[in-house]
Structure 1
């Protein structure tokens, strides 16, 4: 599908408190709509963008601007979680400038934005820390995404100082029935809380999973049980 035939839009998935169901914010996800109204997922949209000459980093930048514009248009409440591919440092500075210009133009605030980063990207730790430090100086905080799918020394939590960690769906799936997964989630949660880092469980689809995560001390959840990605998400916490 040629990129010029696609219109980009955002879907937002709520992130809610597992304690009182209040809304923390939304994760923004990119989608495309063709001339017939059919919706394309992120992989197909990225493929179209690459065919049009945009690399993954360039498309990543454009997607964040689209999400900001849509969040402001809807007066979306809470914190906005945006996915970030950590590129090389010069591209980081360029992205920060673009983000800050868009935030200023839209009347938004950098402290309402959380950048989601997966540390399995092909960056040395020193490079990753330099990238995240640069965003931090610009007023952004970040979340380490997909924990449980890759090995990471606990010391990185202290060195990188994220505001949030997100436990991957593979760790949360059937967690109420899996003692090993419970132990892993408990260890991540205790390590995070010892550094004043909040924890989000991803991919919660069953009440039993939500209850188990809550009992493990995990503050926030995300998943189909709590709210599906939607172009026009609900405006309050899930009861």
Structure 2
């Protein structure tokens, strides 16, 4: 069963990439990007499963895997740079529509897991980064700050473990997180004038900076209190990985 699961994960991306070649006209650069992404996807999911003590995907994980493949196709398009905008919007749209379905399936089938929650969040985060790369081509490199901020936060937590402590529930944080995805998708679709999207993306970045800054300050103020309960922090942080349905963006320290 485990070997069959791994084989499926290794084989499934191939026909999807092949379809991309014929349907979209993937160039060698796009093809290479897709192949590297597919290999990384298979290897990282296998590593994650082994680390979590699981040998195979659950029903919800396959939905997340399907979303990850769509994100990989989007990555191939963006790497190429010369594509019909409708393809990218379509891929991203389907990937976002499927977001939350995996969590719903996991809960209904009783197969929710830390691995599944982490996998879901990593796919979301990488999709946001890809959208930032695409938007930066028209608005400037500063847009990348939206997609990179979360990764910088995670990297900082390696030297400052107190950043991994659980955060208090916040509707403002959830709202800011959702806004990032919505604004980036609207900007990529080119439905609005550049002047309007420039303001929207700037406001989105400002709100995200405020959200991260507020949480970092809160964590810094409480780091002495939590530093004496490392086991408790690990337990709470792991449980916090199971985020509510519908987030377009993972909470900062949930992927640390």
**TM-score greater than 0.5 by the shorter chain:** no
Bigger proportion of residues as helix = 2
Q: Normalising by structure 1, what TM-score? A: 0.28
Q: Normalising by structure 2, what TM-score? A: 0.26
Larger radius of gyration: 2
